[in-house]
Amino acid sequence: MKLASVKLEERWDKDLLKLISRGNASGGFMADITFIVDTGCQFSGISGLIDSFTIANRWHATNTGDWSEPLFTTRILSQDGQAVKVSGGFQVLPEGAFRDSQQTDVVIVPPYLPSADLLPANATSLLDWIVARYDQGVTIASVCTGSFVLAETGLLDGRLATTHWFYSKLFKRRYPKVLLEPDRVLTRDKGLICSGSVSAFYYLGLHLIESFGSSHLAAQCSKSLLVDPGKASQSPYAVFNVHKGHGDQEILRAQELIEAHFADAISMKDLAREVGISPRHFIRRFKKATDETPLSYLQQVRIERAKDCLETSLETVNEITQGIGYENSSSFRKLFKEATGLSPSEYRSRFTRGDGAASSGTRDPSACAVLKTWRSRKA
């Protein structure tokens, strides 16, 4: 379902200049933000953004001494203006129907994670409406998997986008024309803004606060919200998304063998023979079933086990390196950095679980199950 007409990008730029010319006397320029809700959508991104804009309004008024009008106005619209049951089972009463609304500055689309295809029910009218607003020069933004809605319109074809890291492979398969950058927390390309996994809505909010207000206002809000504005990547937070619902029993067996023996020296030829597939066809079938080569799968399993050790134990990086099947800690550090964007020590510092015991020296240094198994094999 591709609905986007040919975009008049010069028109979009001219309409943006009109918006900027509406600036108020106290600095910044007022923005009307429209949120779309539909059955099953996740409401946390909407409520969190509304709170962010409310905080921005208060800081703006405090800075300027002008409490007469807010910098941001927000409204929630549904397809027909009726109450909507969102994720979590509670109802949201919108202010009206989006089909009756043509004037706004920013449209924000929430995620539809409970939906089987990550799209709202009866999406056609919403997609048409989004395209019409974009052609008027309205900024269109998405939270998390709301990017699937934007991509479904065709507006993102040939444009930068991001989405929740867990759904990045599905997104790439479904929308190959989109320039997806799943590591990014936020992307912006010609009036189309995408934010990453759910809590990345804070970065979308800060971006809009800076765009309509100022960098100083955005800094004040980031401190109020305890949001680090410097976070630019989702990579440290991504978990290897293991796909086992492909129906290929031989490849499923190969996956299980890799996961059980990841710390051993695994020969792909031996693995292929173990599951009854010729080495010649094994890699092709494995890639088709899992979207990964066997070697990439092994590396990612090892990285996930290393993360667990870094989060829960005091083992040294060299010990973890050997425990997950690598002999050279330099090679492991390089692979880990490529996968997460952080060094092992940086990762440990950020993701130590519980009360910080792993970094304070009070946690059992042999708590990592991976290394317990490795030591028992050596003994």
Residue owning tokens 């940086």: 346
Q: Out of 144, 194, 221, 309, which one is annotated catalytic? A: 144
Least Cα distance to 164 among 109, 227, 238 occurs for 238
Tokens of 168: 């990045």
Q: Where are the alpha helices (DSSP H) in the chain?
A: 9-20, 44-64, 124-135, 146-153, 168-174, 201-212, 215-225, 249-260, 268-274, 279-290, 294-312, 317-323, 329-340, 344-351, 357-360, 369-378
Residue owning tokens 């990014």: 184
Give dist(CA 256, CA 265) in Å, integer. Answer: 15
194 is catalytic: no
The three-state (H, E, C) secondary structure of 65-130, written as one string: CCCCCCCEEEEEEECCCCCEECCCCCEECCCEEHHHCCCCCEEEECCCCCCCCCCCCCCHHHHHHH
Positions marked active-site: 144
